[in-house]
């Protein structure tokens, strides 16, 4: 009965402490178990693919693969869901956090590979991929985008690559030639702006990392270099700085005013071009539909982005998506099999016809380029050697914390010079590389 | 307090009450402890007339043991509220604190890597980050500017409301309530559109051509400040207006008979009488404006050019969710919590001291 002598007002803190203590012992932050382990040969396979702007053609191709797959495997049902691209990060994180309701097979952006592997979300399919008869024709850059530390974590689904869109009517009007070098590109852009002040010469964006990277790569720079499994930033190397300088020189009243262009991302520059506000833009094969839907329709052409020397092609960023089997799957063999079917040469060729996605197999890509001349400059760009972001789990963190956009924006807005901004960016990247190791 | 009238209690003990509540004799009189506001389930209690005993009975039965005089009974009534508060407030804050001491990123959440204890590692990382200090400074200055502007606009319009006729008053009320009811995302988008360099009416009216309001750091902050004030002044205005209405008109009459000017009436009569209300709206505004997220996130596209318009909340979001560093984001959350607690406590202290002097 001693307790009863406690003043009542002390009971509240005691109760609160008690509650806190109880919860403290009960609930440390959770970690989920993604180890899967089972390999059932029947049941339902769950697949998450990205929802495209016009999704029906994609669904048709996928449906035909799924129907054939279900026919070939008795007692297997495939449930395909299309998830919105904007919320894919949350969805996929949630799938890793809750393996029970996670799908068996997902489509994912290829810059996320290393991050997802570190999260323990993707299954190592090195053996199956190497044994797969079609994999030998996979483009090396695409293969690199599913590889982390020598192990393969998926199958490339399609690639996306950027090239130079330009307005044929503007060039004809001003009697300009298509630029053949980076210097010519910059001077042509400024010439157009001078003659037509209501147009951006070349639409650029301070937040358009993948439009800026070709300038750095063309000058021999790199974002980072792998040193014994871990990476070190080289964005402040003299070559990289040359590229940064070239790209940032395009911001200003003589081409793309900083107060508007510093904040633009890739989509904004494509929108500017499509709506007739820019004479040139760096757009992807996947931007085709958006540009066809705008004012620029029928008045443009595409060439590979010129490099430093005449005739060179600036290395482009090899974007694109992959398919991967989740570590937590209970149908590993079936899921890998379906992944190969969905990423097969036949499916990729059909997907190109339906959606314009560039195939990841070099031979299939040559074939489709013959069928559809529009993709020729993109295939050429890929053929000249496209580049990929560092295959480090730190990359998604660097990307999400806007290290490179911040660097470009600091230079463009005159807050820092190229040397200082690139040094800061390198520092931030190295911190991320060392913490994500 | 008007609800605490004498009612026959023992028979009306609500379903949620613990067995002891039915005890006859002194028990009902001692149940004055919990107030309606603190009850987590007032709806459940209310229909039965409420367990609150007559106020006059409080503390009457001398200094016997708490149990004998039913000292634990109030806590039984408070228990549901405490459990809810514990679950919704204490537990999340506890988790926030716990995570801030761990290495907890997406890899740990999904089991790719083991969770490790970092001690003050996350805080060290945070305090070493130059950007954090810049963001903190920007947040404090920006929040202060927002609070001052919101209070100034809200109080000025509240006084105006008492001076105008019914129709303009109704119009002003409706306009303010409209602003209040507008979701922050919608409000921000509309403001952004008004100031759009290409299509915005503001530039057209002012003849500014294609001036971009979000490019310069200060003009971007000013634009966000306008939106924040616009969507938070109605709360101040309505509350202060209600307060002014409650001031006896004789007092104001007396002041004006003494020849006090409008400003003098506000400063020497209204403001002191409204002090409790002003305290509440100030603290509310400090907390809201310190935690501004939506407006900055939407209007400056996640923090502005090169992160120039970042405030703590957006910064924490970028760290915690955009780059999945949940532990670092938690550390920022804890720092914010401590700052807000400190600001609120200091402010309350100051006011109390002033009150004693007055």
- Whether pLDDT at B3 is above 60: no
Residues of A in contact with B33 (CB under 8 A): 8
- Report, as an integer, the average pLDDT of A263-271: 89
Give pLDDT, residue A28: 60
> CA B131, CA B142: separation in Å to the nearest integer?
16
Per the domain annotation, does B61 fall within a domain? Answer: no
Residues of A in contact with B73 (CB under 8 A): none
Task: Tell me: do B159 and B174 sit in the same domain.
Answer: yes
Per the domain annotation, does B269 fall within a domain? Answer: yes
**Total structural domains in chain B?**
2
Domain that holds residue B92: 84-117
Query: Of A86, A278, A400, A408, which to mutate for an interface test with B (greatest number of B Cβ within 10 Å)?
Result: A400
Q: How many CB atoms lie within 10 A of CB B273?
A: 17
Per the domain annotation, does B214 fall within a domain? Answer: yes
Query: A139 with A159: CB under 8 angstroms?
Result: yes
Three-state DSSP string of chain B = CCCCCCCCCHHHCCCCCCHHHHCCCCHHHHCCCCCHHHCCCHHHHHHHCCCCCCHHHCCCCCCCCCCCCCCCHHHHHHHHHHHHHHHHHHHHHHHHHHHHCEECCHHHHCCCCCCEECCCHHHHHHHHCHHHHHHHHHHHHHHHHHHHHHHHHHHHHHHHHHHCCHHHHHHHHHHHHHHHHCCHHHHHHHHHHHCCCCCCHHHHHHCCCCCCCCCCHHHHHHHHHHHHHHHHHHHHHHHHHHHHHHCCHHHHHHHHHCCCCHHHHHHHHHHHHCHHHHHHHHHHHHHHHHCCCHHHHHHCCCCCHHHCCCCHHHHHHHHHHHCCCHHHHHHHHHHHHHHHHHHHHHHHHHHHHHHHHC
Task: Tell me: do B98 and B151 sit in the same domain.
Answer: no
Q: Does A29 touch chain B (CB under 8 A)?
A: yes
- Tokens coding B201: 């009416």
pLDDT, greater one: A248 or B15: A248
Considering only the beta carbons, identify the residue of A4, A96, A397 that sits closest to B67: A4
Mean pLDDT, rounded, of chain B? 80
Query: DSSP E strands: which ranges in A91-222?
Result: 105-109, 147-148, 151-152, 155-160, 162-167, 200-203
Mind listing the pLDDT tens digit for each residue in B82-109?
999 888 999 999 999 999 998 888 888 8
Give pLDDT, residue A274: 92
Query: What confidence tier does A323 reach under pLDDT thresholds 50, 70, 90?
Result: very high
- Report, as an integer, the average pLDDT of A115-121: 88
pLDDT, greater one: A16 or B293: B293
Under DSSP, is residue A274 helix (H, G, I), strand (E, B) or coil? helix
Mind listing the pLDDT tens digit for each residue in B282-302?
988 998 999 999 999 999 988
Q: Which residue of A has its CA nearest to B318?
A: A401
Mean pLDDT, rounded, of chain A? 88
- Tokens coding A68: 């054939």
Task: Tell me: do B108 and B230 sit in the same domain.
Answer: no
Measure in Å the smallest separation between the Cα of B191 and chain A Cα atoms: 17
Per the domain annotation, does B294 fall within a domain? Answer: yes
Per the domain annotation, does B21 fall within a domain? Answer: no
Measure in Å the smallest separation between the Cα of B94 and chain A Cα atoms: 7
- Whether pLDDT at B30 is above 60: no
Give pLDDT, residue B44: 41
Q: Which of residues 108-167 of A touch B (CB under 8 A)?
A: 115, 117-121
Query: What confidence tier does A128 reach under pLDDT thresholds 50, 70, 90?
Result: very high
Q: Does A96 touch chain B (CB under 8 A)?
A: yes
Task: Tell me: do B96 and B231 sit in the same domain.
Answer: no
Query: Which of B72, B97, B117 is where one domain is finished?
Result: B117
Per the domain annotation, does B351 fall within a domain? Answer: yes
ipTM: 0.74
pLDDT, greater one: B53 or B218: B218
- Whether pLDDT at A190 is above 90: yes
Residues of B in contact with A401 (CB under 8 A): 318-319, 322-323
| Contact state of A16 with B90 under an 8 Å Cβ cutoff | yes
Give pLDDT, residue B35: 41
Give pLDDT, residue B230: 95
Give pLDDT, residue B47: 42
Mind listing the pLDDT tens digit for each residue in A42-72?
889 999 999 887 788 899 999 999 999 999 9
| Contact state of B323 with A413 under an 8 Å Cβ cutoff | no
Query: What confidence tier does A429 reach under pLDDT thresholds 50, 70, 90?
Result: very high
Query: What confidence tier does A395 reach under pLDDT thresholds 50, 70, 90?
Result: confident
CATH at residue B224: 1.10.3720.10
Mind listing the pLDDT tens digit for each residue in B159-210?
899 889 999 999 999 999 999 999 999 999 999 999 988 888 998 898 887 8
Task: Tell me: do B227 and B102 sit in the same domain.
Answer: no
| Contact state of B305 with A396 under an 8 Å Cβ cutoff | no
- Whether pLDDT at A79 is above 90: yes
In 3D, which of B57, B41, B60, B51 has the Cα closest to residue B8?
A: B51
| Contact state of A34 with B112 under an 8 Å Cβ cutoff | yes
Mind listing the pLDDT tens digit for each residue in A154-169?
999 999 999 999 999 9
| Contact state of B306 with A415 under an 8 Å Cβ cutoff | yes
Query: What confidence tier does A437 reach under pLDDT thresholds 50, 70, 90?
Result: low
- Give the predicted TM-score (pTM) of the model: 0.78
In 3D, which of B52, B41, B61, B40 has the Cα closest to residue B12?
A: B52
Task: Tell me: do B94 and B239 sit in the same domain.
Answer: no
Q: Do domains A43-160+318-383 and A162-317+393-436 have the same CATH topology?
A: yes
Q: Which of A18-27, A126-135, A190-199, B225-234 has the lowest mean pLDDT?
A: A18-27
Share of chain A above pLDDT 70, in %: 91
Domain boundaries A43-160+318-383, corresponding CATH code: 3.40.190.10
Give pLDDT, residue B249: 87
Query: A123 with A332: CB under 8 angstroms?
Result: yes
Residues of B in contact with A20 (CB under 8 A): 86, 90-91, 94
Question: In the block, which residue shows the tokens 């970042």?
Answer: B310
Q: Find the helix packing angle between A403-412 and A238-248, rounded to 10°.
A: 60
pLDDT, greater one: B211 or A256: A256
Cα angle B36-B41-B43, degrees, rounded to a multiple of 5: 80
| Contact state of B212 with A259 under an 8 Å Cβ cutoff | yes
Query: Which of B101, B117, B133 is where one domain is finished?
Result: B117
> CA B277, CA B271: separation in Å to the nearest integer?
9
Task: Tell me: do B242 and B106 sit in the same domain.
Answer: no
Mind listing the pLDDT tens digit for each residue in A275-299?
999 999 999 988 888 888 889 888 9
- Whether pLDDT at B16 is above 70: no
Give pLDDT, residue A25: 45
- Tokens coding B233: 């002044």
Give pLDDT, residue A3: 43
Give pLDDT, residue B14: 39
Query: B90 with A103: CB under 8 angstroms?
Result: no
Query: A39 with A332: CB under 8 angstroms?
Result: yes
| Contact state of A23 with B94 under an 8 Å Cβ cutoff | yes
Per the domain annotation, does B13 fall within a domain? Answer: no
Q: Does A330 touch chain B (CB under 8 A)?
A: no
Per the domain annotation, does B29 fall within a domain? Answer: no
| Contact state of A93 with B324 under an 8 Å Cβ cutoff | yes
Task: Tell me: do B100 and B220 sit in the same domain.
Answer: no
- Whether pLDDT at A229 is above 80: no
Spell B165-196 as b/e; 16+ CB within 10 A means b: eeeeeeebbeebeebbeeebeebbeebbebbb
Task: Tell me: do B174 and B99 sit in the same domain.
Answer: no
Give pLDDT, residue B332: 94
Query: What confidence tier does B52 reach under pLDDT thresholds 50, 70, 90?
Result: very low
Task: Tell me: do B253 and B162 sit in the same domain.
Answer: yes
Sheet order of strands, A43-51 included = A76-84, A43-51, A105-109, A319-325, A155-160
- Report, as an integer, the average pLDDT of B24-40: 39
Q: Where are the domains positioned within chain A? A: 43-160+318-383, 162-317+393-436
Query: What confidence tier does A14 reach under pLDDT thresholds 50, 70, 90?
Result: low
Under DSSP, is residue A405 helix (H, G, I), strand (E, B) or coil? helix
Domain boundaries A162-317+393-436, corresponding CATH code: 3.40.190.10
Task: Tell me: do B200 and B234 sit in the same domain.
Answer: yes
Under DSSP, is residue A90 helix (H, G, I), strand (E, B) or coil? helix
- Report, as an integer, the average pLDDT of B242-265: 89
The single-letter DSSP state of residue A52 is P
Give pLDDT, residue B63: 54
Task: Tell me: do B143 and B246 sit in the same domain.
Answer: yes
Residues of B in contact with A35 (CB under 8 A): 111
> CA A156, CA A161: separation in Å to the nearest integer?
14
| Contact state of A4 with B322 under an 8 Å Cβ cutoff | no
Q: Which residues contact A249 (CB under 8 A, 6 or more apart)?
A: A186
């Amino acid at each position: 009965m001693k307790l009863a002598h406690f003043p009542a007002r002390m009971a509240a803190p005691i109760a609160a402490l008690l509650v806190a203590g109880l919860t403290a012992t009960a609930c440390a932050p959770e970690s989920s178990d993604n180890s899967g382990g089972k390999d059932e040969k029947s049941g339902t396979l769950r697949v998450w693919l990205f929802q495209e702007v016009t999704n029906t053609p994609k669904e048709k191709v996928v449906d035909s693969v799924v129907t054939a797959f279900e026919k070939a495997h008795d007692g297997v049902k495939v449930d395909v869901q299309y998830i919105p691209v904007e919320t894919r990060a949350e969805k996929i994180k949630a799938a890793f956090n809750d393996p029970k309701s996670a799908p068996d097979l997902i489509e994912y952006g290829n810059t996320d590979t290393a991050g997802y592997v570190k999260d323990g979300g993707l299954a190592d399919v090195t053996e199956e991929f190497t044994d797969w008869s079609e994999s030998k024709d996979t483009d090396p850059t695409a293969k690199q985008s599913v590889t982390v530390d020598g192990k393969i974590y998926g199958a490339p689904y399609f690639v996306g690559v950027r090239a130079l869109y330009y307005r044929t009517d503007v060039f004809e009007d001003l009697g300009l030639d298509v630029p053949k070098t980076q210097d010519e590109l910059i001077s042509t852009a400024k010439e157009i702006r001078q003659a037509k002040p209501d147009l951006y010469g070349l639409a650029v964006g301070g937040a358009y990392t993948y439009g800026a990277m070709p300038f750095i790569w063309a000058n021999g720079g790199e974002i980072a270099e792998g040193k014994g499994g871990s990476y070190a930033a080289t964005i402040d190397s003299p070559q990289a700085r040359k590229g940064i300088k070239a790209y940032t020189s395009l911001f200003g009243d003589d081409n793309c005013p900083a107060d508007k262009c510093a904040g633009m991302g890739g989509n904004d520059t494509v929108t500017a071009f499509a709506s007739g506000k820019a004479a040139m833009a760096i757009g992807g094969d996947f931007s085709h539909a958006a540009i066809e839907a705008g004012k620029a329709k029928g008045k443009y052409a595409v060439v590979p982005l010129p490099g430093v020397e005449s005739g060179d092609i600036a290395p482009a960023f090899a974007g694109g998506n992959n398919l991967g089997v989740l570590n937590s799957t209970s149908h590993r063999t079936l899921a890998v099999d379906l992944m190969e079917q969905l990423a097969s040469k036949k499916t990729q060729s059909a997907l190109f016809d339906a959606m314009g996605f560039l195939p990841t197999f070099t031979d299939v890509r040559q074939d489709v380029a013959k069928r559809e001349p529009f993709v020729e400059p993109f295939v050429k760009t890929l053929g000249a050697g496209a580049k990929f972001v560092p295959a480090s789990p730190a990359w998604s963190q660097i990307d999400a914390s806007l290290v490179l956009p911040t660097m470009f924006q600091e230079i463009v807005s005159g807050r820092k010079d190229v040397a200082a901004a690139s040094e800061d960016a390198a520092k931030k990247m190295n911190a991320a590389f060392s913490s994500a190791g | 307090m008007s609800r605490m009238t004498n009612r026959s209690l023992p028979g009306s003990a609500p379903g949620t009450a613990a067995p002891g509540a039915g005890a006859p004799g002194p028990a009902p009189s001692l149940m004055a402890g919990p107030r309606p506001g603190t009850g987590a389930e007032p709806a459940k209690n209310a229909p039965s007339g409420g367990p609150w005993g007559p106020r006059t009975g409080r503390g009457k039965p001398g200094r016997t043991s708490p149990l004998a005089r039913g000292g634990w009974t109030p806590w039984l009534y408070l228990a549901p509220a405490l459990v809810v508060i514990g679950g919704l407030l204490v537990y999340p804050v506890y988790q926030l604190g716990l995570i801030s001491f761990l290495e907890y990123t997406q890899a740990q959440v999904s089991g790719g890597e083991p969770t490790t204890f970092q001690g003050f590692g996350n805080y060290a990382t945070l305090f070493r980050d130059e950007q954090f200090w810049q963001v903190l400074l920007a947040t404090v200055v920006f929040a202060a500017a927002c609070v001052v502007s919101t209070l100034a606009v809200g109080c000025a319009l509240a006084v105006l409301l008492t001076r105008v006729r019914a129709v303009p008053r109704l119009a002003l009320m409706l306009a303010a309530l409209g602003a209040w009811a507008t979701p922050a995302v919608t409000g921000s988008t509309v403001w952004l559109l008004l100031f759009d360099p290409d299509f915005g009416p503001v530039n057209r009216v002012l003849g500014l051509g294609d001036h971009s309001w979000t490019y310069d750091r200060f003009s971007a902050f000013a634009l966000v400040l306008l939106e924040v004030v616009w969507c938070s002044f109605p709360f101040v205005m309505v509350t202060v207006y209600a307060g002014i209405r409650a001031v006896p008109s004789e007092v104001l009459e007396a002041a004006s008979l003494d020849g006090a000017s409008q400003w003098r009436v506000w400063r020497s009569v209204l403001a002191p009488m409204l002090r409790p209300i002003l305290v509440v709206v100030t603290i509310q505004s400090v907390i809201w404006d310190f935690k501004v997220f939506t407006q900055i996130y939407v209007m400056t596209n996640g923090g502005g050019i090169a992160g120039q318009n970042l405030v703590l909340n957006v910064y924490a979001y970028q760290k915690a969710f955009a780059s999945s560093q949940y532990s670092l984001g938690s550390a920022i959350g804890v720092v914010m919590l401590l700052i807000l607690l400190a600001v609120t406590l200091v402010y309350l202290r100051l006011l109390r001291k002033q009150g004693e002097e007055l």
